[in-house]
């Protein structure tokens, strides 16, 4: 199989994680989420701890910390057939860093309207203990406020609260518009309507991937 390196970009709440997971399953390549990597409970590692402090404040994690964690991940053997990268790069300087390490074949941009983003994000809940994610509208837990998987409490992440979201969206727009332009010029940008439901978005992506692999 030829190596395929895919990036999924989109505003917070666009469904990057869900769609990346599907691509990963379809192509048998790992889903690498920088958000998850940075948020992991690994208090032994200073870099992870520092990263979480930034995220809880709704700030972007400094590049030096992200690069260190990401570079280490991309060197693992399971990326030999490629990867799906979600949450990175966020701006052109990160894109250049990535370019110096890996060739990118496709950048899937999930395009979602602002009001949809806000509605989706304020409904997100995450398990305090195992990290499993839920959504009050789209993926509610069987029992309100309790994780289906491990029975722990569900919480709203600091960076899913409304004022933090608006701050994140503004930062997203300022940094990502030039990023999309960067990839458009390279001929690898693929836009997908992310306002549709999960299945419809997945069908569009799947079609695109099939066409792309042909």
Interface ranges with Zn ion (CB under 5 A):
127, 129-130, 132, 147, 149-150, 152
CB of 139 vs Zn ion, minimal distance in Å: 14
Q: Please say if 184 is a catalytic residue.
A: no
- Per DSSP (E only), the strands in the chain are 4-9, 31-33, 82-86, 106-111, 124-127, 133-135, 154-155, 189-193
On whether the CB atoms of residues 135 and 125 are closer than 8 A, the answer is yes
Q: How far apart are the first and last CA of the chain?
A: 12
For helices 198-213 and 16-27, angle between their N-to-C axes, nearest 10 degrees: 40
Integer angstrom CA distances of residue 171 from 38, 90, 179, 205: 18, 10, 12, 26
Among residues 22, 39, 52, 168, the one annotated as catalytic is 168
Among residues 73, 139, 157, 191, the one annotated as catalytic is 157
Among residues 90, 120, 125, 190, the one annotated as catalytic is 90
- C-beta closer to Zn ion: residue 81 or 129: 129
Q: Please say if 168 is a catalytic residue.
A: yes
Q: Which residues pair with 111 in a beta bridge?
A: 193
CB of 153 vs Zn ion, minimal distance in Å: 9
* Rounded Cα–Cα distance for residues 11 and 194 (Å): 10
Helix or strand (DSSP H, E) at 203: helix 198-213
- C-beta closer to Zn ion: residue 130 or 213: 130
Q: Please say if 124 is a catalytic residue.
A: yes
> How many C-beta atoms surround the C-beta of residue 186 within 10 A?
12
φ/ψ (deg, to 5) at 62: -55, 145
> How many C-beta atoms surround the C-beta of residue 96 within 10 A?
11
Q: Please say if 16 is a catalytic residue.
A: yes
- C-beta closer to Zn ion: residue 132 or 175: 132
CB of 147 vs Zn ion, minimal distance in Å: 3
CB of 97 vs Zn ion, minimal distance in Å: 34
- C-beta closer to Zn ion: residue 150 or 200: 150
CB of 124 vs Zn ion, minimal distance in Å: 14
- C-beta closer to Zn ion: residue 126 or 208: 126
The catalytic residue positions are 16, 90, 124, 157, 168
């Amino acid at each position: 199989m030829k190596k395929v390196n895919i990036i999924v970009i989109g505003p917070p709440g666009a469904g990057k994680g869900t769609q990346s997971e599907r691509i990963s399953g379809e192509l048998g390549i790992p889903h690498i989420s920088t958000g998850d990597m940075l948020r992991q409970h690994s208090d032994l590692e200073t870099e992870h701890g520092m990263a979480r402090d930034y995220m809880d404040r709704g700030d972007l994690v400094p590049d030096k910390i992200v690069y260190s964690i990401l570079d280490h991940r991309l060197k693992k053997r399971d990326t030999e057939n490629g990867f799906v990268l979600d949450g990175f790069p966020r701006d052109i300087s990160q894109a250049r860093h990535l370019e110096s390490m890996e060739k990118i074949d496709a950048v899937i941009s999930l395009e979602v309207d602002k009001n949809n983003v806000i509605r989706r994000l304020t409904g997100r809940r995450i398990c305090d203990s195992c990290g499993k994610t839920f959504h009050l509208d789209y993926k509610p837990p069987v029992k309100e406020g309790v994780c289906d998987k491990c029975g722990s409490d569900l919480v709203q992440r600091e960076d899913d609260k409304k004022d933090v979201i608006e701050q994140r969206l503004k930062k997203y727009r300022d940094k990502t518009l030039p990023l999309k332009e960067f990839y458009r010029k390279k001929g690898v940008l693929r836009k997908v309507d992310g306002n549709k439901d999960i299945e419809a978005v997945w069908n569009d992506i799947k079609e695109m991937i099939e066409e792309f692999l042909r």
